[in-house]
Structure 1
Amino acid sequence: MREMSVAPVVTGAASPGLADMVWDNARQDPEGVQFLRPSPVSPAWPAGPSARGDVPVTCAQFRGDVLALARGFIDAGIGHGDRVGLMSRTRYEWTLVDYALWSIGAVTVPIYDTSSPEQMEWILTDSGAVGCVVETDKHAAMLADRRAGLPALRQVWRIDGGDLVALAGQGRSVDDAQVDVRRTAVTGSDVATIVYTSGTTGRPKGCVLTHRNIYCDIGNATAVLPELLHPGASTVLFLPLAHAFARLIQVGMVLTRATLVHSSNMSGVLGQLQQHRPTFILAVPRVFEKMHTQTREKAADAHQEWLFRIADAVAVRYSRALDTPPGPGGPLRLARRVFDLIVYRKLRATLGGRCRTAIVGGAPLGERLGHFFRGAGLTALEGYGLTETSPALTLNLPSAMRIGTVGRPIPGVEIRIADDAEVIARGEMVFAGYWNNPDATRDTFTADGWLRTGDQGSLDDDGFLHITGRTKEIIVTAGGTNLAPAPVEDRIRAHPLVSQCILIGDDQPYVSALITIDPQAWERWTASHGRPHASVADQRDSPDLRKEIQAAIDEANETVSRAERIKTFRILPRDLTEADGELTPTLKIKREVVQSRFAADVDALYRGH
């Protein structure tokens, strides 16, 4: 059993309430720009005009906004410990509501804006929410249809309906001192939020996170990331704030007085990145896969795919050489400089030109992409954690990174590899348990108090953590072969045509795969094959298409033993989507859903065996 731990920089001994940092910032740097609200600013929470088009929100202004809304919540009868749902896309009002509730000791219960009515009802019912902030009329109508099953829910506020402005207006009769009394009464042990895991299987469970959990996690993470999180740093946040990963960055930006730009429109993210030129970004691996694919497709459109292939290889070789004692040699450095001028610089320009670092989480990035992006001048710092751990546990750092791993434990975290290879963890950022679910809480901890992560992994001699797969996702064939699917799936997704890959094989005689085709790449492929209007469903058994996918599988098969190799595959008639319930909001595959929905395709893989 191997173990790795790092002494904490920040402890929870005297951890403040999370809203205290808003008041501290307003006192220490009142004119510092905490947020930048893209123009046009929503009237749902208006702001003053700006000559630049975008509206800066200073630390003093944010404290004023939080104070005004906190008074409104007090006037509405929201008490200490009351749960309030929050269903919205990523926007300034999301963060405003979060801190206003924290400032009066209330508990935020995030709900993904893409959640189904059943999911929304379950979260509000299970948490006992007395109020809910929703974003749109559609959300409000969905909630109204379920209101009969929510007896504890007293009030609903619509962001786009102007209800937050009205709520702040109603709170004018509440004295500022009442907010101060409520805020200073909050302790580290008070519940800050209940985050329901989106989950790839089963009904969501509510992770109870205290102010101490979150404060210790972000305090220790920012302590080792001074290059990224500091006054003057900036990022465009486009991941859903209902996810613990994005939420951690939100708190980190406020803690360090860095500037945060919210982006609620995923289709317009590239424009905002180029406009606001962030110093770093936060993303899930799928974003990097898309960036790589789109860059390759642009090269193909210009009949320069051969050039991109060379640039890709040079970037990977350069990055790998950085990890060797002598480093990259002269010819490789020269090649890298040449390709920086004609390829890599253009890639970085899509992120605004100033971004040289990204924090990556939510799923494994893969060694292939990690080396490419570092070689191209965009270092992806891959980390690891769970909602139950607030969420960060480990992180690669600019000064200490190993591509292919998820880094070392951040300060205050202890990581141990159990005898069955499961990663277990301990620290002040680890939650106390699930809301209203003592059985699940008991099952997730060992007898001596370590959190079972459900992930398989190993620690190398330098303390870097390697994640090999989810315990529940390990495939065990009928012949007893154990296979972690993620590394093989990652290699197959490297093919331009492949969008998703799901390995199948539990209790089966061999390993097989379900493949989906990338819609953008499909248009290009059909045009080049003289079938411009063909659908994937019509062509999925085409010999030409199967030959392309077989080549990707053959390459992946070379990396595993004979017993682990993919013997056959099926191309699914369409790509997987979050809207169809096959992906989580952070684009993880819901394997059981996919296998159930495409059961006929799975059966066809093993027909006759």
Structure 2
Amino acid sequence: SRHQHNTTTSQKKFNIMTTTSLTLRLALRRSQHILKRRFITTSASFSSSASTAEAESLVDERNLLRFDTLASLQKNACQVFAQNELFGTYSEETKQFEWIDYAEFDKRVGKVRSVLIDLGVKEFDKVGIISNNRWEWAATAAACYSMKATLVPMYEAQLPKDWTYILNDSQCRALLCATPDVYHRAMQETVPSVPSLQGVLCFDAEHDLDYSFSAAMERANPSQENMPTADDLANLVYTSGTTGVPKGVELTHDNSVSNVMGVRTMVTNPTDFIRQSDRSLAFLPWAHSYGQTCELWCALAHGASMGICRGVPSILDDLQLVKPTTLFSVPTLYKRVYDGVNTLIQ
């Protein structure tokens, strides 16, 4: 179905339901703790800073989180699982992953929403992001949803000409870039050709620069939420363009929420799909619907945590540091692991 606020473009956009792939739960039997988890009650143990009564009202009779949009999923999860660890980021100083909890993430979402408002973003506007997985990516997505804006994710590895096409086709109002390299390439080869853009920030820019995301976060004032409906557009995800120019795929909140609900039916007890004690290593891109739906939003809906992988070359090191109990991946990676183990055996 088409919404009046959707941008009319030269390319036909399809409103589709994404499909869910299977996940592989790692059998880490070296730890008795992992084995004992099987016998722990699946009732939700609320770590909320809100009252127990408030937290309990946010779950159903099966102790599953209630939500009807991605915005309410994020907001409710951050209340119910406030003290649970959520995102882990590798620190060059400590050589370890450092974690933020759900409550801290919720505060950052509010600040990012204020940053977007300061950039001129209004309801139904599009916000572009060129970034690999990081907490800022998730916070930007959640901030967009909480103000009825739409996220347009792109990849750092894409060519500037692809960024230019996607930003123009979607008529993005604001653009967030991950690194100084991405920012400068975008400013030189993309931004001058995108008249709809009103502001561009960089996550990793030095604090004293006028395009610093962290500085904008510090200046941001509190802002009011503008919660979406299930039919509002959440994400505009573009195809790779291998058969022509990239095509925008419209995903409403209902598209993503129904998939999060649907994957719970993969197991007899829905609370066993992902547990609060589970942890993943996030290396599949959240810019793709599989990684975003099955890992990011499913994990949040169940109070789990995820370490954010530094990149493919660091996967083995990050696996040892994060010690995930659950992985979301594609067959290619599992084939590499399988072949690698067989090579060592031989």
Normalising TM by the smaller chain, what interval?
0.7 to 0.9
Pair 243,215 (structure 1): closer, same or farther in 2 beyond 3 Å: same
Counterpart residue number, 1:170: 219
Amino acid at match of 2:288: H
Q: Is the 8 A contact 1:87 1:111 kept in 2?
A: yes
**CA distance in structure 2 between the aligned counterparts of 1:149 and 1:204, rounded to whole angstroms:** 17
1:224 aligns with 2:266: yes
Q: Is the 8 A contact 1:81 1:105 kept in 2?
A: yes
Structure 2 residue corresponding to 1:273, chosen from 305, 309, 319? 319
TM-score, normalised relative to structure 2:
0.73
Amino acid at match of 2:290: F
Please tell me the root mean square deviation across aligned C-alpha atoms, in Å.
2.0
Larger relative contact order (CA 8 Å, sep ≥ 6): 2
- % identical aligned pairs: 25
**CA distance in structure 1 between the aligned counterparts of 2:281 and 2:299, rounded to whole angstroms:** 11
Amino acid at match of 1:152: S
**CA distance in structure 1 between the aligned counterparts of 2:129 and 2:191, rounded to whole angstroms:** 16
Map Cα deviations across residues 122-159 of structure 1 (whole Å, 9 max, x no partner).
11010001111111222122212222321111111111
Amino acid at match of 2:203: I
Amino acid at match of 2:199: Q
Structure 2 residue corresponding to 1:253, chosen from 299, 304, 321? 299
**CA distance in structure 2 between the aligned counterparts of 1:68 and 1:110, rounded to whole angstroms:** 20
Amino acid at match of 2:202: R
Q: Is the 8 A contact 1:15 1:188 kept in 2?
A: no
**CA distance in structure 2 between the aligned counterparts of 1:167 and 1:79, rounded to whole angstroms:** 17
User: How far is the alpha carbon of 1:27 from its aligned partner?
Assistant: 2.3
Counterpart residue number, 2:230: 188
User: How far is the alpha carbon of 1:15 from its aligned partner?
Assistant: 6.1
What SS is found at the alignment partner of 1:268?
helix
User: How far is the alpha carbon of 1:17 from its aligned partner?
Assistant: 2.9
Pair 122,275 (structure 1): closer, same or farther in 2 beyond 3 Å: same
Structure 2 residue corresponding to 1:130, chosen from 173, 191, 201? 173
The within-5 A match list for 1:288-299 is 288-299=334-345
1:117 aligns with 2:149: no
The within-5 A match list for 1:32-47 is 32-40=84-92
Structure 2 unaligned spans of 5+: 1-65
Pair 250,242 (structure 1): closer, same or farther in 2 beyond 3 Å: same
**CA distance in structure 1 between the aligned counterparts of 2:70 and 2:263, rounded to whole angstroms:** 15
Counterpart residue number, 1:284: 330
**CA distance in structure 2 between the aligned counterparts of 1:217 and 1:127, rounded to whole angstroms:** 24
Count of matched residue pairs: 271
User: How far is the alpha carbon of 1:187 from its aligned partner?
Assistant: 0.6
What SS is found at the alignment partner of 1:283?
coil
Counterpart residue number, 2:255: 213
User: How far is the alpha carbon of 1:94 from its aligned partner?
Assistant: 1.2
Amino acid at match of 2:166: I
**CA distance in structure 1 between the aligned counterparts of 2:333 and 2:97, rounded to whole angstroms:** 26
Deviates more, 1:140-149 or 1:119-128: 140-149
**CA distance in structure 1 between the aligned counterparts of 2:105 and 2:265, rounded to whole angstroms:** 24
Structure 1 unaligned spans of 5+: 1-13, 42-49, 300-304, 306-609
User: How far is the alpha carbon of 1:270 from its aligned partner?
Assistant: 0.9
TM-score, normalised relative to structure 1:
0.43
Deviant stretches of 4+, over 6 Å: none
1:65 aligns with 2:117: no
Amino acid at match of 2:289: A
Q: Is the 8 A contact 1:15 1:212 kept in 2?
A: no
Amino acid at match of 2:198: R
User: How far is the alpha carbon of 1:199 from its aligned partner?
Assistant: 4.5
Q: Is the 8 A contact 2:130 2:178 kept in 1?
A: yes
User: How far is the alpha carbon of 1:288 from its aligned partner?
Assistant: 1.6
Q: Is the 8 A contact 1:15 1:187 kept in 2?
A: no
Q: Is the 8 A contact 1:73 1:171 kept in 2?
A: no
Pair 287,232 (structure 1): closer, same or farther in 2 beyond 3 Å: same
Q: Is the 8 A contact 2:115 2:220 kept in 1?
A: yes
Q: Is the 8 A contact 2:275 2:304 kept in 1?
A: yes
